[in-house]
Amino acid sequence: MYADFLRRLARDKLAMVGLCVVAVLFFVAMFADFLAPYPPDRIDVEKILVEPSRDHLMGTDPLGRDVLSRIIHGSGVSLSVGFVAVGISTFIGVILGAASGYYGGLADRIIMRFVDIMLCFPTFFLILAVIAFLQPSIWNIMIVIGITSWMGVTRLVRAEFLSLRERDFVRAAVSQGASDLRIIFLHVLPNAMAPILVAATLGVASAVLVESSLSFLGLGVQPPDPSWGNMLTEGKDNIEIAWWLSLFPGLAIFITVMGYNLLGEGIRDTLDPRLRR
């Protein structure tokens, strides 16, 4: 089954582009200390706002720090936020969606009404409201993004469970006296992993965008720690004299989000039986 999935995914050229982008980002984040030509917080007052050159391929910022080195180290921050936040939101969404879809009835009505209430609030403004009461930090950003973005996963998992709970293999497990937890986690959930995997992949891209937006507004990762969002803030303040401060962090965000979106859409198309040849 996995070999067939990988073979069909490999035929999707755009998905392979996304996979290559994600693989490169992982490599850069893991070996940032070796790949960065300079320490990300190294200040050189003699090289303030130097244009891209042989010594500084992406120029320097208002403190003389190397932009390329900060982008490389910022990749780890962005990917960490994306994966931890998606992990939290997926965990919450799977638990609530499984309970709602499997048990139905009163549990389903209560959970889905709660989901409807949460969806009434614009997610980004809800995150801003919560962050306003917390000290800005990378861990707070991870947790807040995770606990405010689980609603879509909940609805996906609920829909899958509503369909799967009527299948013969679930009825057979019930007739053999299997407990509800065993049926949910060992029989139904493995068969509902396809949309969860797609939602998680696309969710990483969304989390990276949210983190970058919060850092750009000064509510996310705080200087001197490098983040693509707070690097864009420095670019905004110097847009007329230092174009590279906005261009390169913006490209990093664009390429990352594009890579995860291409990979997520490729996985979705590969797992969709209607598109199989």
The alpha carbon of 216 is separated from its chain's Cα centroid by a whole number of angstroms, namely 17
**Residue 1 forms part of a structural domain:** no
**Residue 184 forms part of a structural domain:** yes
Contact 108, 98 (CB under 8 A): no
Task: Report helix, strand or coil for 113.
Answer: helix
Instruction: In whole angstroms, give the CA distance from residue 200 to residue 90.
Output: 7
**Residue 38 forms part of a structural domain:** no
**Residue 2 forms part of a structural domain:** no
φ/ψ of residue 60, rounded to 5: -130, 165
- Read off the DSSP letter of residue 186: I
Residue ranges making up the domain that contains 138: 11-30+53-275
The alpha carbon of 267 is separated from its chain's Cα centroid by a whole number of angstroms, namely 15
What's the one-letter identity of residue 127? I
CATH of residue 16's domain is 1.10.3720.10
**Residue 255 forms part of a structural domain:** yes
Instruction: In whole angstroms, give the CA distance from residue 68 to residue 70.
Output: 5
**Residue 39 forms part of a structural domain:** no
Within 8 A by CB and 6+ apart from 41, the residues are: 65, 224, 226
Instruction: In whole angstroms, give the CA distance from residue 268 to residue 61.
Output: 40
Q: What's the structural domain count of the chain?
A: 1
Instruction: In whole angstroms, give the CA distance from residue 199 to residue 170.
Output: 24
Total-model pTM: 0.86
Contact 201, 188 (CB under 8 A): no
Instruction: In whole angstroms, give the CA distance from residue 28 to residue 117.
Output: 40
**Residue 6 forms part of a structural domain:** no
**Residue 47 forms part of a structural domain:** no
Instruction: In whole angstroms, give the CA distance from residue 182 to residue 173.
Output: 9
Contact 16, 263 (CB under 8 A): no
Per-residue pLDDT of the chain (277 residues; tens, 9 = 90+): 567 777 787 888 888 999 999 999 999 999 998 998 898 888 888 888 888 988 888 988 888 899 999 999 988 888 888 889 999 999 999 999 999 998 888 989 999 999 998 888 777 787 877 777 777 778 888 888 888 889 989 999 999 898 888 888 888 888 888 888 888 888 888 888 888 888 898 899 888 888 888 888 887 777 778 888 888 888 888 888 888 888 999 999 999 999 999 998 888 888 765 555 4
